[in-house]
Amino acid sequence: MPRLIRFTLAAPLICAALHAQAAITVIDDSGASVTLPAPAQRVISLAPHVTELLYAAGGGAKVVGAVSYSDFPPEAKQLPRVGDNKALDLERIVALKPDLIVVWRHGNAQRQLDRLREMHIPLFFSEPHHLDDVAVSLTKLGQLLGTSPAADAAAAAYRQDIAKLRSRYANRPPVSVFYQVWDQPLMTLNGAHMISDVIALCGGRNVFAQLEPLVPTVSTEAVLAANPEAIVTAAPGATQPDRTLPQLGQWRAWPSLTAVANNNLFAIDGDLINRPAPRIAQGARQLCEDLEVARSRRKAGAQ
């Protein structure tokens, strides 16, 4: 067979093989496979924590739209807005011509997500549950964006930050902690939430870790019975600009509560502690320092 004919016959097979090699497949946080024929070039973020992850993974230049409160890094504030975690602007999303949309599984409206799926736009579900999931998310997003060197470096730096905190605090004398999400009704987080991971990282113990569901409602009597040594809540951040987050002053009505007696009522920037993104390492450091204060007050007494 002449060489030219052999090459002509083989060329489609070579191209198909190269195309197959170029395809990128990762497993998202819902367990679904996400496949792109090539690294994404136009990405939309549908959660503030996702925006942070995309930039940290080296993909900031590829983000073409984001939901409200996507405020970090500062340049993210200039991104076109495509709705919020309750309602999406589907027309604007389509007009931005994304080749990848990163969504928050429990934050975005399922009906609208189904509409996006019908449009055959690749969706990657992001819902990290544990501290190390943040690093895993960075790595996977780096693969989808074609920015693996930056993403892998960010993941390694994050893991190092968490490892330092774990080495310093995880084996310190335990501190029982009540994490207050809301005050009316009184709500907390169970052991499956990432914040419970943070509490454990700092040598703390979530007094309501065994409850269901993920964000259970509890009674004042239950908190008094648990008698936590520290009570922690989130201070207002960008995602809560117009709402008054739970205030801890109401607990002073029970001066015999250990957290009150020792003045262990702490508030942490909500954007650092609530968002499952690399900055949660900063929120963790703040919480670890607060729990260390609580330990010191065992000897010093109430202040």
Check which CATH number belongs to the domain holding 76 and give it.
3.40.50.1980
**H/E element holding 66?**
strand 63-66
Whether residues 120 and 55 fall in one domain: yes
DSSP 236-284: P-TTSTTS-PPPSGGGGG-TTSHHHHTT-EEEEEHHHHSS-STTHHHHH
- Quick check: is 204 in a domain? yes
3-class secondary structure, 138 = helix
Whether residues 8 and 151 fall in one domain: yes
Euclidean distance between the first and the last CA atom of the chain, given in angstroms as a whole number? 92
- Quick check: is 41 in a domain? yes
Give, in order, the Cα–Cα distances in Å from 51 to each of 67, 90, 92, 266.
9, 18, 17, 27
Whether residues 151 and 175 fall in one domain: no
pLDDT tens per residue across all 303 residues of the chain: 554 444 444 445 544 444 445 799 999 999 999 999 999 999 999 999 999 999 999 999 999 999 999 999 999 999 999 998 778 999 999 999 999 999 987 666 778 888 888 888 999 999 999 999 999 999 999 999 999 999 999 999 999 999 999 999 999 999 999 999 998 899 999 999 999 999 999 999 999 999 999 999 999 999 999 999 999 999 876 555 444 455 788 999 999 999 999 999 999 999 999 999 999 999 999 999 999 999 999 965 444
Whether residues 92 and 145 fall in one domain: yes
Task: State the burial class of residue 74 (Cβ atoms within 10 Å of its Cβ: 0-12, 13-18, 19+).
Answer: exposed
- Quick check: is 63 in a domain? yes
Listed residues 102, 131, 155: the one ending a domain = 155
- Quick check: is 165 in a domain? no
Whether residues 14 and 145 fall in one domain: yes
Whether residues 138 and 81 fall in one domain: yes
Token readout for 270 is 């909500």
The structure's pTM equals: 0.87
Whether residues 138 and 183 fall in one domain: no
Task: Output DSSP code: residue 62.
Answer: G
Domain that holds residue 243: 170-300
- Quick check: is 219 in a domain? yes
Distance CA 140, CA 124 (A): 10
- Those residues whose C-beta lies under 8 Å from the C-beta of residue 31, and which sit 6 or more positions away, are none
Whether residues 61 and 151 fall in one domain: yes
Whether residues 151 and 174 fall in one domain: no
Q: How many domains does the chain have?
A: 2
Whether residues 107 and 185 fall in one domain: no
Task: Output DSSP code: residue 181.
Answer: S
Whether residues 122 and 18 fall in one domain: yes
